[in-house]
Structure 1
Amino acid sequence: MNWTDERVELLRKLWAEGLSASQIAAQLGGVSRNAVIGKVHRLKLSSRGRAAPAQARQKKPKAAAPKAAKPSSQPVRSMPQTVGATALKVEFDAEPAPRPVARVDDSVILPISRNLKLVELTDRTCKWPNGDPLNEDFNFCGSASKDGSPYCAYHARVAYQPVSDRRRAR
């Protein structure tokens, strides 16, 4: 579908009248709602009229004299004007909450790493990785591991945290 000058002018007119993108797409024919929205953004059409309900669009007989409006006891709230993607923009005034600090447990002794390579690992050595696997100096802890565990006592406590501690850390 090509956007001819006539179709663009009709789009501008319908947009200014306050029709929705779906209504405009239906009137133009051969174009989707998303295509209308995209064209509106490319044309930078931001101001538009308000669409009146179908009953209000019909001409009503004018009253003889306008009635005076009653003052309302409720405060009038104004809605902020949003244009484009600013509707989703959020500004925070408060500072972020500090992250929880890990507890220091004196009962845990940090093992001395043996710095083993992958081919040196056995069923009874700790397989906790040290460093970046893409670096040449990458190695594994290599300390003695408990029966059936891939890690030494220290790394097992790091890897397998109790559920209550994980929930509290979030």
Structure 2
Amino acid sequence: MSWTTERVELLKKLWGDGLSASQIAGELGGVTRNAVIGKVHRLGLSGRAKTTTTAPKTRRKKVAPAGTAGTSQHTAKPLTQGSAALKMESAPLAEAVPAAQAKPVADLVPISSRASILELTERTCKWPIGDPSKDDFYFCGRQSDVGVPYCAHHCKIAYQPVSDRRRDRRTNVRAAS
């Protein structure tokens, strides 16, 4: 299939009318959606017309279940899905307790096991501590298992189960909001 001037003109017209690349490919016949997209980009077409399907959707009012009509009690339930799920609740969470008490980094790594990049081996922990642009930057340097770049303590930090990461992310988002 070649792009004749008639087919290019039809492509421009259909693109300006707001048809999708799949719809245009169907109209032209013998071309794929990706071929249409490529030709549109090569032609520099932009500024598509709005289609009629982009009209704002109207929401239906929620109908109260039978027996509760006339009561104005509203109990706020935490949302777990949708865009409102990330909004902070008005009351602070009482059960949000940090998993471990934050200790200064210097207390976690004894001075005797601290290592510079030149002292690292296959069996030393390569957990970076501090700012690499500063003079006091170092690596943990403790003993690590075979095939693992970190010591047991830093493996617990680096390799967390997915469920723990999701839970921590949710509590961090609530705390930051």
* TM-score (norm. length: structure 2): 0.38
Q: Whose helix proportion is higher, 1 or 2? A: 2
* TM-score (norm. length: structure 1): 0.40
Higher Cα Rg, which structure: 1
